[in-house]
Amino acid sequence: MKAIKIAKTEFKAGLDKLESAYRLYGPVKEKQYYTFKALDKGEKPDLDYTNTRMSAKSLIYPQAEVTFEYSLDKNDDDYAILKEPAKDYAPRAVIGIRPCDADAFAVVRRNFETPEYQDPYWLSNMDATTLVGLACNTPPSATCFCTSAGSGPFNDKNLDVLLVDNGDHFLARVLTEKGENLTRTAGWTTAAENADVVIESGKAASEAAFSTTVHTERLKDQSLIGLYEAEAAIWEKEAFACINCGTCTYACPTCWCFDVQDETYGKSGVRIRNWDSCMFPLFTIHASGHNPRGQKVSRIRQRFMHKLKYYVDKYDKGIQCTGCGRCVRLCPVNIDIRRVCNQMNSYNPESCSCEVTS
Amino acid sequence: MTTYIDKIKEISKRLLRDGKVDMVIGFRKGSLPMMNQPMFARNEGDVDSFVWDSSCGVNLANYVTDRSERIGIVAKGCDSRNLVVHIIENKIKRDQLYIIGVPCTAMIDRHRIAAMVPGEIESIEENTADGTITVKGEGFSETLNKADLLQENCALCMHRNPVIQDEPVADPVPEQSPDDVDRYAKVREVESMSPEEKWAYFDDLFSDCIRCYACRNACPLCYCPTCFVDESKPQWVGKSIDPTDIRTFHFLRAYHCAGRCTDCGACVRSCPMGINVRALTKKLEKDCLEQFDWESGLTLDKRPPLDVFRPDDPEEFIK
C-alpha cells in the first residue's frame, strides 16, 4: 500500500482523464437528496455530501435486472429458449463511496460468492468496479454507528482507494491493484510523506465523535431459540408499530434478497430479478396459500434475526450491518435497529427480559 | 399541547385499571426528532411512556384493523375519521373502541423542516404558548413559527376535532373553514395543465419511487388481504421499477381510496423519498365533494358515495 497526495485541482483534472477509461459514478444532489448516479461527461461528484439517501447497493446489484430474454413466437428458431442479454461489464469507478457502503459489499459477497454458488451478475459487476472511498472526517449523521458495526469512518478494507479530505488536497491510500491502475490513469502519483500520521489522527478524531453504538458482543453466544421465542420481551413490542413496508430493506446496503419474475410483452419476454423484502407477506407465501410468516411479528423477527443472529452464527464475521443508519433515518415509524440489537444482545432467556434503550 | 398528555395518560390508566379495554394505542417518544412511534399499553406502567406533541402524525386507525381486543385509542380529527371509515367497512366494531379524542393543533412536516435547516436536526423543542418550534443541530438553532412548518394536509384540514369520540382530552379547537383556506388550489393547478404538462408532472412526481409500499402500508384504507399489485393470478402489474408499473400502482391505489380518504397525510409522511402522494388523493377528495357533496369519515349513518347507487348521482362523466 502506498499513500499519495492529490491537490483538489489535480483531482478534478484526474477525473477528466478517468472518463476515457472508466464509466464514473458518484454522489450528486438531485432534488432534495444525494444519490449515486452515472456521471455525465464532465460532471463531477459532489464530495461535500454527507451520505446518499439510498445506499450504493444498486450500483452492483440493481433493483431490477434482466437476467434472460426469450421469444414466445413458435416461428422463431430460438422459441422458448432463455438467452442471456448483452451486458456491459466495462470498467467503472465509484468516486466518493463511504466506507460503510463499501464494507457492505464484503458482507453481501458472502452470499453471492460461495463455494457452491457464484452469482454471475453480482460478481461481474463487482469485478468491473473500482471503489474510490471517501473517509468521513466527522460522522455524517447522529444515526451512524459504523464504529460498533464492524466498519468505521476510515475503514479501508473493502476499498481500492481511500480518499481523506485534508483541506486543499486529498490524502489517499492506494490499496489494491485496481486502485493502482486508477490512480495511475488519473495521473495521481505524487507520493505523500507522513500521510499515515495525518490519516490515523483524522481517524481517531472521527471515531471519537460518534455518539451512538450497538452492543453485539453477546449475540453469538445467545441461544438462537431463546431469541426466536422472545416474543413478549422483544418481538411483539417492536413489531407493533411496523407497517411492513420495504423501506428498511431497500435502503439497506446489506440486504440481498431477491425475487425472480417473468414479464411477457406480446410474443417476447424477459426474466427479471427484483429486490425483495422479508417484510412483505408475499416473500414467504406458499403456492397452497399457507404463509409460514403470516403475521408481521414473525416478519420483523426474521429481519432482525437474520441480520443479528443467523448471519452472525453462520459466517462468524460479525453482524449483517455496517452501521450506515439509513433504516433508522428512513423508517416511517421509527423502528430502530440499534434499539433492537441492544435488546437482543442483552436478552436473558431465563427472565425473558432485556435492556431497552431509548 | 402539554396538558393533553396528562389527560391522555389519566384516561388511559383509568381505562386499563377499570378493565374497560385490553390495550390503549398511543405514541411513545421516538429515537429521532419528529418521529414518535405508535405503541400499545397493556398496563398502567406502559402508559407512562405515552407522549403527545406535533410529531404524532402517524394515523393510529391503521393499528386497529381486524383486531379482536377492546381498544382504547388516542385519536386526532383524521384518525377519528378513519375510525369511522373502518367501522363502516367492518374492520373494527364501534363497541370495541374507546376513542380518546384529541382536538388537533396540526402536525409538523418532517420532510419540509429537514429541508429548511442547514444540517441534521438533533432536537426539536415546541413552545405551545407562543406557537414556535426551535430546531437545533450542529452549529445552528432556529426558532420558527409552527404555522409555517405544518404538514400540508394539516394546513388544509377542516376537521381538526374528532368527529367521533368517547372522551375528549380538551375543549375543541377552532376549525378552519373553506372560506379561510383554499384546499384545492394545487389540484386546480394540475387540472388546468395540458395533457403534455400533466404527463411531465406525474412523470416527475413518481420518478423517485422505490416501490417500498410505505404509502400503502401506512394508509388505514389499504387493508386488502392481497393488494392488486401483489396478486399473481392474474398478475395485474409488473413488479420491477418500470415507470408504467409504478404509475399504475399509485393511480389505482388512489382510486381505491376515492370517497374513503380523509387526507390524513400518512402516505406522504411515510414516504422515504418525500413523494407527495396526496397529489392524487386530494383530486379524488375534491371530485367526491363536488359530485356527491361527500367528505369521508364524518358520519356512521351514511354509506360512502361509491358504495351506493342513487338515481340523482351525477353522470356527466358517462359519455
| Domain definitions of chain A by residue range | 2-55+86-208
Band of pLDDT at residue B270, cut at 50, 70 and 90:
very high
Nearest CA distance, B240 vs chain A (angstrom): 5
- Chain A CA closest to residue B231: A282
Q: Cα(B172)–Cα(A345) distance, rounded to whole angstroms?
A: 46
Residues 246-275 of A with CB under 8 A from B: 246-247, 249-251, 259, 261, 263, 272, 274
- Chain A CA closest to residue B213: A245
Q: How many CB pairs under 8 A join A and B?
A: 104
- Give the CA-trace dihedral at B301, B302, B303, B306, to 10 degrees: -160
Residue B276 burial (CB count, 10 A): 16
ipTM of model: 0.95
Residue-level pLDDT at B2 = 55
- Pairing mode, strands B132-137 and B140-145: antiparallel
Residues in Cβ contact with A240 at an 8 Å cutoff, skipping those fewer than 6 apart: B38, B39, B40, B63
Tell me whether residues B38 and A143 touch, CB distance under 8 A: no
pTM for the whole structure: 0.95
Q: Where are the alpha helices (DSSP H) in A156-194?
A: 177-186
DSSP, res A134: E
pLDDT at B318 over 80: no
Residue of A143, A243, A299 to mutate for B, most B C-beta atoms under 10 A: A243
Tell me whether residues B40 and A240 touch, CB distance under 8 A: yes
| A290 contacts chain B (CB < 8 A) | no
> Measured between CB atoms, which of A277, A280, A334 is closest to B30?
A334
- Chain B CA closest to residue A52: B273
Task: State the cell numbers at A71.
Answer: 421469444
Angle made by CA atoms B186, B111, B256, in degrees to the nearest 5? 55
Block means of pLDDT (10 residues each) for chain A, length 358 residues? Answer: 93 97 97 93 95 96 97 95 95 98 98 96 98 96 96 97 97 98 97 94 96 95 96 94 97 98 94 97 93 96 98 97 97 97 94 79
| Domain definitions of chain B by residue range | 1-106+152-176, 182-314
pLDDT by residue (tens digit) across B202-255? Answer: 999 999 999 999 999 999 999 999 999 999 888 899 999 999 999 999 999 999
Query: B126, B4 in Cβ contact below 8 A?
Result: no
Q: 3-class DSSP state for residue B141?
A: strand
Q: Cα(B162)–Cα(B159) distance, rounded to whole angstroms?
A: 7
- Chain A CA closest to residue B236: A263
Q: Which long-range contacts (CB under 8 A, 24 or more apart) does A281-290 make?
A: A281/A244, A281/B230, A282/B230, A283/A257, A283/A259
Mean of pLDDT over chain B = 95
